[in-house]
Amino acid sequence: MKTETSIQGLSASLQTARAARKVIGFVATMGNLHEGHINLVREARRLCDVVVVSIFVNPTQFGPNEDFDNYPRTLEQDSHLLAEAECDILFAPSVEQMYGSRPRLTNIRVEKITEDLCGLQRPGHFDGVALVVTKLLNIVQPTYAFFGEKDYQQLAVIRQFVQDLSIPVDIIGVPITRAADGLALSSRNGYLSEEQRNTAPIIYQLLQQAKAKLLQGVALDVVLNDVKQGLDQAGFVVDYVEARATNLLHVETFEQDVVLFVAAKLGNTRLIDNLMVKYSKSIG
Ligand code: PAF
């Protein structure tokens, strides 16, 4: 595996692949990699000739009260994992390399769907994501880019600006990777104490129960409320429990496929998860 830290170096490394019309797959990460990231890399490996993974802790997606400086940086360990997963090129630029020293005057803002769910608690977060992902897609120019469905809203935002800006890439959503007890894998799980780690899988258990109830015909608002109560009782501080259509539009009832969303804190650690429930006319 090659490591490139400059845009020029990466372009040079990709020149032969581009000339030979190889299929380039791209996975964007902020490092501190876990099995969820590695599954994105495996999916890229399966579908593409050349796999590029970026590790860049992007300052523009952190709010003023979010800890950019203390975000875990584990480049050496991440490099080993990527080499094992047969990544071809690791792109690990500095902030200076990505943003330069001149003031930036351009923003990329996706409306509406960024102002809901996680966007309410993290104003500006998705603007930062949209900006850095646009830059990375322009730099790498992949055929396919792979993003996890765990960050469902992020994936929807990326799909939206890729379409709106006619960026020539196919965005592939990859299903959530879960631990054996159902907890969605996340870099943040590392912040949980042993006790909190034992409590955390309740999120997925409640989502599954919610799905079963919806399929039995229980009303959507009742189901969402049960999830909220279950989380409260288990000691979570609930940020939101919501249902949306798959395109993130609001829904009042379960009369189409819906995605159930949870964001809740255990101590200082904010966990998110989601589960899609497919609608069929025979429900209830
Ligand atoms: O999901 C992430 O790790 C980040 O938001 C991303 C997509 C790498 C952009 O910095």
How long is the chain? 284
Is 90:82 a contact under the CB 8 Å cutoff?
Answer: yes
pLDDT at residue 45, as a whole number? 98
* Percent of the chain surpassing pLDDT 90: 98
Domains and CATH numbers, the chain: 2-174 (3.40.50.620), 187-275 (3.30.1300.10)
pTM of the predicted model as reported, rounded to 2 decimal places: 0.96
Which alpha helices (DSSP H) does the chain contain, by range? 7-19, 35-47, 75-84, 95-99, 118-121, 125-140, 152-164, 194-199, 202-216, 220-233
The 10s digit of each residue's pLDDT in 171-192 is 999 999 999 999 999 999 999 9
Q: Report the residue among 27, 30, 114 best suited for mutation to probe ligand 1: largest number of ligand atoms under 8 A from its CB.
A: 30
Calculate mean pLDDT across residues 85-90. Answer: 98
* SS3 label, residue 27: strand
Question: Which residues are CB-contacts of 64 (< 8 A; sequence separation ≥ 6)?
Answer: none
pLDDT at residue 67, as a whole number? 85
Compute, in angstroms, the gap from residue 275 CA to the centroid of ligand 1.
20
Residue 56 Cα: closest atom of ligand 1 = 10
* pLDDT higher than 90, residue 62: yes
The 10s digit of each residue's pLDDT in 139-172 is 999 999 999 999 999 999 999 999 999 999 999 9
pLDDT at residue 226, as a whole number? 98
Helix axes 125-140, 7-19, angle to 10 degrees: 50
* pLDDT higher than 80, residue 284: no
pLDDT at residue 281, as a whole number? 85
Compute, in angstroms, the gap from residue 58 CA to the centroid of ligand 1.
8
pLDDT at residue 217, as a whole number? 97
- Mean pLDDT, rounded, of the chain: 97
The 10s digit of each residue's pLDDT in 6-37 is 999 999 999 999 999 999 999 999 999 999 99
**Residue 261: pLDDT band with limits 50, 70, 90:** very high
pLDDT at residue 108, as a whole number? 98
Residue 158 Cα: closest atom of ligand 1 = 7
pLDDT at residue 65, as a whole number? 86
Calculate mean pLDDT across residues 208-214. Answer: 98
Q: Which residues line ligand 1 (CB under 6 A)?
A: 28-30, 58, 61, 129, 132-133, 151, 154
Range with the lowest mean pLDDT among 64-73, 197-206, 255-264? Answer: 64-73
* SS3 label, residue 263: strand
pLDDT at residue 283, as a whole number? 77
Phi and psi torsions of 211, nearest 5° = -60, -45
User: What is the rounded distance in angstroms from the CA atom of residue 105 to the CA atom of residue 179?
Assistant: 42
